[in-house]
A and B are shown apart, each in its own frame.
Chain A
């Protein structure tokens, strides 16, 4: 075989590695996280199964604990109590979107990994450009 075919190695390995990681990762490529309504509805019934939960941090529910922070995550219909291990970082605040990873025991979601999910709005500090 011509040695030049070695040029295909990097692209081929790249595509395969990315797809394997994507398919073996938590949840699904088309659904990165479940919303509280789905979790309450019983989409995951195994208390040991790790999955991702996403939604907005409900205003007025954030309390610091010894191990980290607890708050409610809501999708507007249902809310779930999240007990997170680790100090919140960066843009974490009331009202912002979060995706947490962990397990659900039927009453609370125990998370150890947090991602902050912000929206597609870009508004300047002045706030004088209110869209109608």
Chain B
């Protein structure tokens, strides 16, 4: 991807992340996938509601993939003790929590018109919700420990242990009797139960989500580098000597020693989003037969949350680089 950053605080890394070809690819593929999902034929039984599969399933698979990358980053950190692997594990876990949340949200939007319930206490749903909160615990752990090496070590152990949930979630529909249907594609008999055009739309969705994930991961790791630099400034550590010239040509050493710049978590907006998700069904609840309303809700929720998360990463990188520039 980018050039290797031997030292995490070279002048280039102190700038906010710039537009990258991955960002262009993400916008392009997700646009194509949206069109494909809306244009392919509907399913015979579910009708237009089957279009929600093209966002729900990719979100679920990307959650699995993201947590597997966290596993890989955690193992690589423990072996090499290089912080870039820790940053990879952390960035991927955050993306994984995002995709798990999106999976749950889209599952509810799909469940209400098809199953006739938003939620029920069924194995696949329960285990997915548990996975969401456990990885939220991973992110919490990273905020609790301040010392970088200790944080990296403990998070790596967490990131390795937590991954047992992936087979548990995925095979819950095979092992147990559930409401959720069996796997259509990633099934034990490896015989996809889906017609070619619908399968093509699904694959396009998965590819698009993978590119979006890569773009988000790159931006998230850049934020980590910036914030690590901010913290070393706070600690009064000389960061990279005279080589570091922040934008505005003020040297980092000249930065005033301010109170610790904790990464903004923006917990209030997230709580508002969660509250809105709880209240909305009471205010807006179309009939299951109004299929396009549900499909639109799912697609709007998908794209809106991707934009919000990308904006959030951009905001964090701007905050950190401003602090460094002072």
Contact = CB atoms under 8 A, between A and B. Distances in A.
Interface of A: 2, 4-5, 7-8, 10-12, 14-15, 18-19, 21-22, 25, 29-33, 54, 89-91, 96, 99, 114-127, 129, 131
B291 to A, nearest CB: 9
A15 B195 CA distance: 38
Contact of B45 (A4, A21, A96, A129): A96
B166 interface: no
B219 to A, nearest CB: 23
Contacts of B46: 91, 118, 122
Nearest to B132: A14
Interface residues of B, number: 51
A120 B43 contact: no
Contacts of A10: 133, 136, 140
A10 B138 CA distance: 12
B50 A122 contact: yes
A89 B130 contact: no
A31 B116 CA distance: 20
Contact of A117 (B115, B183, B193): B115
A125 B44 contact: yes
A18 B194 CA distance: 32
Contacts of B130: 15, 18-19
A117 B184 CA distance: 15
B1 interface: no
Given A29-B126, A90-B289, A8 B177 contact: no
Contacts of B247: none
A55 B144 CA distance: 48
Given A89-B288, A91-B46, A126-B41, A119 B182 contact: yes
Interface string B276-290: 000000000001110
A122 B53 contact: yes
B12 interface: no
Contacts of B115: 115-117
B38 to A, nearest CB: 14
Given A10-B136, A124-B42, A124-B195, A32 B116 contact: no
Contact of A125 (B41, B123, B178, B288): B41
B195 A123 contact: yes
Nearest to B291: A90
Contacts of B45: 91, 96, 118, 121, 123
B126 A15 contact: no
B197 interface: yes
B181 interface: yes
Given A10-B136, A10-B140, A14-B133, A118 B181 contact: yes
B113 interface: yes
Interface string B123-154: 10010011011101100110110000000000
Nearest to A5: B144
B315 to A, nearest CB: 20
B176 interface: yes
B21 interface: no
A124 B136 contact: no
B176 A32 contact: yes
Given A7-B140, A18-B126, A117 B181 contact: yes
Given A8-B144, A122-B195, A116 B114 contact: yes
B157 interface: no
20 contacts: A11-B136, A14-B129, A18-B129, A21-B126, A29-B121, A29-B122, A30-B177, A31-B176, A32-B123, A54-B177, A90-B114, A90-B288, A115-B179, A120-B184, A120-B187, A120-B193, A121-B193, A122-B199, A124-B42, A124-B198
Given A19-B130, A32-B176, A122-B195, 6 more contacts: A7-B144, A10-B136, A12-B133, A21-B126, A25-B120, A116-B114
